[in-house]
């Protein structure tokens, strides 16, 4: 059986990794997993001015505190304001937020991963960090979440910053249900994934709440999330 040290060296180059985190299930579960594989993990949150970010950050800090992993470094918050390009987009205004039964394509944030990776890559290059991880899933339908995109982005960012960069997407072959099962022992009630927060709670009526509710049901895991207006079964 392969030792943990050999497994680490075989699968994961370098000894440091930056992970782009939100407060959501996928990135939080991935962060816990990677914290067991790397001696130093740097969680990075990129703040763009989206309407749910202050609540998301509130819960992200609580989730980080629950992990108590020595390998996880203090959260870094980077800023990349989007109001000048997004203007009247629903993610800024809160108007016409994708509802519970809407198609997943309606939650697309144009250029999201391009912007996140560009900011994170500069952060990593200045600190000698070679690895950037993020948590897109198998069913992600967006053009900036494909293997081809991540491979080309890795090459472009490495070329532009004159450094070696690896972009890792360890969850890209998994469904949200699969990911939930991997993290079932964690404080998942401290994660946050809602487009229209009601106070500090999930609305229960948006597209992301629907995705969350259905994933817990399919995984057979009790959902301890507080929803302001939970849907009927």
Phi-psi category of residue 22: left, alpha or beta, with phi > 0 → left and psi -120 to 50 → alpha: beta
Per residue in 41-98, pLDDT (tens digit) is: 999 999 999 999 999 999 999 999 999 899 999 999 999 999 999 999 999 999 999 9
Question: Token pair for residue 126?
Answer: 């200045």
Q: Is the pLDDT of residue 4 over 80?
A: no
Q: Output the pLDDT for position 68.
A: 85
Q: What is the pTM of this model?
A: 0.91
Q: Can you tell me whether residue 223 is helix, strand or coil? A: coil
Q: Output the pLDDT for position 67.
A: 95
% of the chain residues with pLDDT over 90 = 89
Domains, the chain, in order of start with CATH, read 4-93+110-185 (3.40.50.620)
Per residue in 141-184, pLDDT (tens digit) is: 899 999 999 999 999 999 999 999 999 999 999 999 999 999 99
Q: Residue 90 and residue 86: Cα distance in Å, rounded?
A: 9
Residues contacting residue 41 through CB under 8 Å, at least 6 positions apart: 16, 17, 18, 19, 31, 34, 35, 69, 71, 72, 73
C-alpha pair distances (Å), 65 with each of 15, 36, 41: 23, 16, 14
């Amino acid at each position: 059986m392969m030792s943990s040290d050999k497994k680490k060296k075989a699968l994961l180059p370098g000894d440091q990794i930056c992970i782009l985190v939100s407060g959501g299930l996928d990135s939080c579960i991935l962060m816990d997993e990677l914290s067991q594989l790397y001696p130093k993990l740097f969680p990075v949150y990129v703040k763009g001015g989206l309407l749910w970010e202050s609540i998301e950050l509130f819960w992200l800090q609580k989730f980080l505190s629950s992990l108590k992993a020595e390998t996880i470094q203090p959260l870094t918050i980077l800023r990349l304001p989007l109001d000048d390009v997004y203007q009247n987009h629903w993610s800024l205004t809160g108007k016409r937020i994708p509802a519970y039964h809407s198609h997943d394509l309606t939650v697309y944030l144009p250029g999201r991963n391009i912007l996140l990776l560009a900011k994170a890559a500069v952060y990593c290059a200045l600190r000698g960090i070679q690895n950037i991880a993020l948590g897109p899933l198998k069913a992600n339908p967006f053009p900036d979440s494909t293997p081809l995109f991540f491979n080309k982005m890795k090459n472009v960012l490495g070329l532009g910053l004159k450094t070696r960069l690896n972009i890792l997407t360890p969850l890209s072959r998994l469904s949200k249900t699969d990911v939930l099962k991997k993290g079932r022992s964690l404080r998942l009630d401290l994660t946050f994934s809602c487009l229209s927060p009601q106070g500090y709670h999930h609305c229960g009526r948006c597209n992301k709440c629907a995705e969350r509710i259905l994933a817990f049901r399919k995984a057979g895991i009790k959902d301890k999330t507080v929803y302001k207006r939970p849907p009927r079964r």
